[in-house]
Chain A
């Protein structure tokens, strides 16, 4: 395909390095769309975006416009956003509610499950194609939901969602369990940013505990503490450097899961406390009991990243979506999550602190974007073809169920992502 054999693609991922072409070659990007993004499960959106029948939310999967919709009988659907007649994109606003979705071009209309509802001057068409579902708004071949998180696949033969997520499903559980009702809502909109770089640069950054000391140096104040990034008295601003001079974050471990997903361990060793947090905790204890509450609120992870395009930010109680647009252009969304049944003030704080950490104007994200753009520029150079991903290689600890823990900001998470890339691209 497009100048690369499967063997050549496989060879681009070595145990400790990857070839720079996987970030820079437009031909490889096209193969990725085919062999990765049209073969695996992709996160589409959360059910809370479409709570009522007729609700719709428009987004993109693998560069294609799609709609997450709510049909009164069929429930949650994922449709291609394309008129079954001449192909115009039907829904042109991001969110809305409608009994039928009407195409602006010739007025064809479709029910929220994609079925053809109306055709102006219908008798002039032969009836046979109008009865064919492909001339409605076609549905994605596979759609599954886990605790409100809707995933879809272009591949009718894709494995079940929970088999794909495997151990990484815990990221969704750990987020949803923080709600006393066990439910979250993506009801506060999202941060949107983009950068001139490959999508994998963002994905790898989500498993990177090594970069903050250098990359985020400007977030450390003269007192050696990083800005306060969470509410409450405890677990807020924190000493950035350990007594031995290493960044605390770089002493944190990372996990690779099932040769595809990744997870960063938490930077914080204390449960949050003080302020609204104590009221919230009391509600949690009433719902789950003390022992289970302590387990849920334990700072276990910073993040859980699902290959290839989504991330649960446990530290910021948010969901991130990575959307490849071109080999050197990527859009990202960060959606703070409101915890159903928790005091409003807790969810307000979550929304507020994500502004500081993940907005396009945030203290953290802006330097990460600078790093992604400089990588994209540097990787065009022809002096060295290989990108080193060797940190902590051989020091991984097998925790069972396909989970490997790499201490001290190991690059085990990036290696897991690259293994998934190699297996899908080399197939």
Chain B
């Protein structure tokens, strides 16, 4: 299910980072930074902020490399989680809202587009595609909006025009169904 080079490369690179090898971090950068910028940009919506997120994340990858263990999942999943967390934290600081010059225009444009675009690009032979595809449209959309776009429960409820409590329980049920389907 992992694409690109085998995960062992990244595991090895993280171990080298923990020992102070900067070329190992550069290796991770060369391989993943471009995609990580896009992942962050899907959440923070601005290229400059996305680069800021990736910059901070690489420093965190460097300082926390010694904490990575295979029981935390794949090295790649661990690295992407750091970037997603940084991007989400930046959102929670309200930076996206305050620094975007024309908030209204941004909101008017259908920001859900890029979320659905990601769904359409998802590898059709993947288990995740099958299992997400088996969910009701609303549940699938809610889960994709959260993971890809970094939307909160409240934002999802507002955009899908369903009550907050309903949104929460639908997403929960969707997630449970997904877990069972992929188990």
Q: Do A and B come from one complex?
A: no
Binding site for A on B (CB under 8 A): none
What residues of chain A have their CB less than 8 Å away from a CB belonging to chain B? none
